């Protein structure tokens, strides 16, 4: 294969941001390894007009991580960019969430991301270069009501990635954080796990009713299109500087701005009004 052409490996590429990212890089001349848990089940634009390398990778299966990365190295001779995109969200009051949901939330969004990163770093280090892109969230900078598990997992990704930049810069490995806002994808159908609130309907009924107006499925119609996030990811992959954070979407940019400049108490009031009223 041609090492003159850059190669990117994308996790969670079956739909949403991952699919849009794999397509965008392919359309811009990159060699793309599009990974997902069940490539044999997916009939997506990737099959028809996108990259043909659809590879099994489950971020909670170390063997599949190793196999996918080794496949990319064997096929293309190396990997220039890793996009850690695979994700999952639990929605609902924290008290109503289960231990299983908690474990899956962190296994997917944090520990799985870390395992893929651990596997890629020796390759980047031996190459003397690489770009590590972790897809976090606007919810990794601020806490949204009813997304306590998801938010905390994305805050973990933020802290992990921010720390890594200091370790990896001397090795010429660039580290990026993508921070999307609300995205117009099927995430809220495919990757949203709603906690069972039936045992406490009265205690949390009011906030759930208020929250449904601004979160979850009711928010996606005004969300940023996935291809716009893919453009931001491509920019992060091709930038030559050491910038860390890349907000994606007007809401993410606005939240980042007001969080930086508003006093904390006022910020919380603004957020509560916009998220729950």
pLDDT value of residue 113: 98
Model pLDDT, residue 97: 93
For 118, list phi and psi in degrees, rounded to 5. Answer: -60, -40
DSSP-assigned letter for residue 53: -
Six-digit token string for 4: 């003159």
Note whether residue 60 is domain-resident. yes
24 contacts 231 by C-beta, under 8 angstroms: yes
Q: For residue 226, what is the enclosing H or E element?
A: helix 226-238
Domain containing residue 137: 7-276
Domain assignment present for 29 = yes
Q: What is the predicted pLDDT for the residue at 135?
A: 97
Say if 180 falls within a structural domain: yes
How many C-beta atoms lie closer than 10 Å to residue 268's C-beta?
13
CB 13 within 8 A of CB 86: no
Residues of the chain with pLDDT under 50: 1
> Any idea of the CA torsion for 134, 95, 98, 86, to the nearest 10 degrees?
-10
CB 43 within 8 A of CB 15: no
Answer whether residue 100 is part of any domain.
Answer: yes
Q: What is the pLDDT of residue 145?
A: 84
Sign of the dihedral through C-alpha 180, 184, 185, 187: positive
Task: Report the pLDDT value the prediction gives residue 68, as an integer from 0 to 100.
Answer: 97
Which CATH number belongs to the domain containing residue 160 in this structure? 3.40.50.720
pLDDT tens, 113-132?
999 999 999 999 999 999 99
pLDDT of residue 190: 57
Evaluate whether residue 2 is within a structural domain: no
Residue 140 lies in a domain: yes
- 38 is a domain residue: yes
Which residue shows structure tokens 């001779």?
77
Q: The tokens of 247 are what?
A: 């907000």
Whole-number pLDDT of residue 222: 62
The predicted structure's pLDDT at residue 63 = 97
| pTM for this predicted structure | 0.89
For residue 1, tell me if it sits in a domain. Answer: no
What pLDDT does 187 receive? 53
Enzyme catalytic residues: 150
- Residue 193 bridge partners (DSSP): 90
- 17, 91 contact by CB (below 8 A): no
- Distance CA(210)–CA(123), nearest Å, equals 48
- As a whole number of angstroms, the distance between CA 264 and CA 260 comes to 9
- Cβ-contact 199, 237 below 8 angstroms: no
- Overall number of domains in the chain: 1
């Amino acid at each position: 294969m041609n090492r003159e052409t850059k190669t990117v490996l994308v996790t969670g590429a079956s739909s949403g941001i991952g699919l849009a990212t794999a397509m965008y890089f392919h359309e811009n001349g990159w060699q793309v390894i599009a990974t997902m848990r069940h490539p044999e089940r997916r009939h997506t634009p990737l099959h028809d007009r996108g990259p043909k390398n659809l590879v099994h990778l489950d971020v909670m299966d170390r063997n599949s991580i190793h196999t996918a990365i080794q496949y990319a190295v064997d096929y293309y001779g190396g990997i220039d960019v890793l996009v850690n995109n695979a994700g999952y969200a639990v929605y609902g009051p924290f008290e109503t969430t289960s231990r299983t949901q908690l474990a899956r939330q962190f296994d997917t969004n944090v520990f799985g991301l870390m395992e893929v990163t651990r596997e890629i770093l020796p390759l980047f280090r031996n190459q003397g270069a690489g770009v590590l892109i972790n897809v976090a969230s606007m919810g990794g900078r601020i806490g949204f009501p009813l997304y306590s598990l998801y938010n905390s997992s994305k805050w973990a990704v933020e802290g992990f990635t921010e720390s890594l930049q200091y370790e990896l810069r001397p090795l010429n490995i660039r580290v990026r954080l993508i921070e999307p806002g609300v995205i117009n994808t099927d995430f809220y159908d495919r990757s949203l796990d709603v906690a069972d609130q039936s045992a406490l309907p009265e205690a949390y009924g009011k906030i759930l009713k208020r929250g449904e107006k601004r979160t979850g499925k009711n928010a996606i119609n005004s969300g940023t299109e996935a291809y716009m996030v893919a453009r931001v990811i491509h920019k992060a992959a091709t930038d030559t500087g050491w910038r860390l954070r890349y907000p994606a979407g007007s809401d993410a940019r606005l939240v980042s701005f007001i969080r930086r400049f508003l006093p904390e108490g006022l910020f919380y009031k603004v957020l509560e009004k916009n998220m729950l009223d």
